[in-house]
Amino acid sequence: MRTLKFSIIFFIIQSAFYLNAAIHIVTSSEDCHPDSLSYYPGTLRSIIHFAESGDTITFAPDIYQVNLNLINNDNQIIFRKDITIDGGNDKVIFDLPASSRYGNHNFFLIGINLDTIFVTINNIIFKNLNSV
């Protein structure tokens, strides 16, 4: 019984924390360097960086593919907050074009600390990537 009460209280507190969650819309299929996020506000990387825990990231109807530029491991997309990314009914492709690949591109596109971060990715297709 105590466990149930604790679980319900935890759920209520967690739900209240996300009441102000926002939906952000990716409006650009391009990528940007991590040092220039504020200059490219509609890119996936910029939106992930500036989103708050509990937010959801979706894509504008004309965005069906996001071209990622991973020059080296410093360009990983790092999640530091609880985020949901949803490609919608049409699904969105995350592509690593040949011109953006570094060496054998056996590094991680996405970094998540699984001990503390919950990331949900729905309706996304990963293309030309060895590691996710």
Tens of pLDDT, residues 53-62: 999 999 999 9
The residue among 100, 101, 91 whose CA lies nearest residue 121 is 91
Output the pLDDT for position 130: 58
40 vs 111, more confident: 40
Output the pLDDT for position 101: 57
- State in Å, rounded, how far the first CA of the chain is from the last one: 40
CA distance 78 to 75: 9
Q: What is the pTM of this model?
A: 0.73
Mean pLDDT of 83-109: 72
Question: In the chain, pLDDT over 90 holds for what percent of residues?
Answer: 26
CA distance 120 to 62: 22
CA distance 67 to 28: 10
The residue among 14, 84, 89 whose CA lies nearest residue 48 is 84
107 vs 18, more confident: 18
Q: Are 86 and 57 in contact (CB under 8 A)?
A: yes
At 131, list the tokens.
């590691």
Output the pLDDT for position 35: 76
Cβ-Cβ contacts under 8 Å for 22 (sequence gap 6 or more): 51, 52, 55, 56
